[in-house]
Amino acid sequence: MTIPRANSRQKRVVIVGAGFAGLTLAKKLSGKKFQVVLLDKNNYHQFQPLLYQVASCGLEPSSISFPLRKIFQRKKHIIIRVTDVLSVSPETNTVHTGVGAITYDYLVMAQGAVTNYFNNERLQLHAYSMKSVSEALLLRNTLLQNYEQALSAVVMEERLALLNVVIVGGGPTGVELAGAIAEMKRKILPKDYPELNFRNMHIYLLEAAPRLLNGMSAASGNTVLEYLTGLGVEVQANVSVTDYDGERVSLSNGNIIHSRCLIWAAGVKGKPIPGIPKEAVTANDRLLVNSFNQVNGLTDVYALGDIALMQLDNLPRGHPQVAPVAIQQATLLAKNLEHVVTGKTIIPFNYQDQGSMATVGRNLALVEIGKIKLKGFIAWLVWMLVHLMSIIGIKNRLFILINWVWQYITYDQSLRLIIKPAHKIKNDDNETNPVPVRTKPLTGL
């Protein structure tokens, strides 16, 4: 595929992925020195920290998504292609995509991470993950559809399996989702489904480590445990899932939980693209990079964010896979690419930790910024402000704020819609009709 350059001196930077790292880098390189080709399988940027609110009926997907072409409408040197990246050929500086081959001067891998099921095929088949807007919508549909089916379930064991929710992973995603579903159980579901006894519904949060929120202090881990227990979430630490067949969750302690909805938030791994040397790919499928984010063994190929593993003496496992790391790496790489072009010295990456935070529900949150530790209502306000200001677009911020204020005043989440995907099939008259299709099959009642 031929993409013309504005002039012969213009360097082309191909960016794979429009997450926090890819989007930040594209914005920083929007001057005339570089032509940026931004590749992503979606035509929008999604704000992953709030995916759990889409899954729990708190926000519409459009509130946390922003069209890429809208962001770069006035940037003539940024070219967007919605496609899959099939492979790379570093020896010829070429990226092979679904729309053709694209040459580059510099290649930046910023495709993020995918859910890690630790090679358990049954978990991958039956469990629900939450790494994208479409997965969050599928989870929302599943939760609501399960309640609808529970109304018709004759056998009590089957009804309980439809009501129960199991969340695996005690990090911020698991904690926040558990709190959101617990609040739905207390304030919303009994009014929507008066025929169901939600005292029989159990929300389990399972963590293989000794405590929750391992990325925060032990005190915060204890506090979040108190919050969740107060909301009725049944937290089990030092417990892992060994198997799941879609209805029965088998635990490492020998116990069985009956649930039609197991949500997997227990880890992520990289998704390297074919063509990258094997010696640069770790066991967790991340890409080894040096202190300048260059992929090991390659000169003009870089990796940013969740896919990148920069091993340092004080960080043998690399930096935390969070948005601030991706944004800071992208900001520095933009400067370094400018320095490379102008012959200046490039600068090694030094992460500035901006703190950690997690929310459990209404007036319940935790914030750690250096020695400052907040909890409760004040932490909840800080959490909302930080996330609100991180969203792209004034309109999106306004919609999210309105939703949050409405939920706070009314204790209600108004987006409880089951939106099923559909495809068209031809009937006998050669006409096409939309037919709803379940992404994951459910057994009959």
Domains along the sequence of the chain with CATH: 11-115+268-342 (3.50.50.60), 121-265 (3.50.50.100)
Tokens of 20: 């926090």
Per-residue pLDDT, 437: 44
On the 0-12 / 13-18 / 19+ scale of CB atoms within 10 A, 437 is: exposed
Please report the DSSP string for 158-175 in residue order: HHHHHH-EEEE--SHHHH
Question: How do strand 422-426 and strand 432-436 relate by DSSP bridges?
Answer: antiparallel
Give the pLDDT confidence of 367-378 residue by residue, as tens digits.
Answer: 999 889 999 999
Nearest to 318 by CA among 345, 358, 279, 291: 291
Give the pLDDT confidence of 116-125 residue by residue, as tens digits.
Answer: 999 999 999 9
Q: How many residues does the chain have?
A: 445
Per-residue pLDDT, 439: 45
Per-residue pLDDT, 367: 97
What region does 33 belong to: left with phi over 0, alpha with psi -120 to 50, or beta? alpha
Give the global pTM: 0.90
Nearest to 375 by CA among 384, 387, 366: 366
Where would I find the H helices in 166-292? 172-187, 189-192, 218-230
- Round to whole Å and give the CA distance between 383 and 357: 7
CA angle 62, 64, 70 (to 5 degrees): 70
Sign of CA dihedral 247, 251, 257, 263: negative
Backbone angles phi, psi at 214, to 5 degrees: -65, -20
Nearest to 171 by CA among 374, 356, 3, 316: 356
Sign of CA dihedral 320, 276, 100, 73: positive
The segments of the chain whose pLDDT lies below 70 read 1, 423-445
Per-residue pLDDT, 445: 32
Nearest to 361 by CA among 237, 230, 267, 199: 230
* DSSP assignment letter at 312: B
- Round to whole Å and give the CA distance between 322 and 140: 24
Sign of CA dihedral 41, 44, 50, 56: negative
- Which helix (H) or strand (E) segment is 52 a member of? helix 51-55
On the 0-12 / 13-18 / 19+ scale of CB atoms within 10 A, 270 is: buried
Active site residues: 176
Please report the DSSP string for 59-128 in residue order: S-GGGGEEEHHHHTTT-TTEEEEE--EEEEETTTTEEEETTEEEE-SEEEE---EEE--TT-HHHHHH-B
- Which helix (H) or strand (E) segment is 236 a member of? strand 233-237
* C-beta of residue 133 within 8 angstroms of C-beta of residue 61: yes
Radius of gyration of the chain (CA): 23
Backbone angles phi, psi at 76, to 5 degrees: -70, -20
Per-residue pLDDT, 436: 45
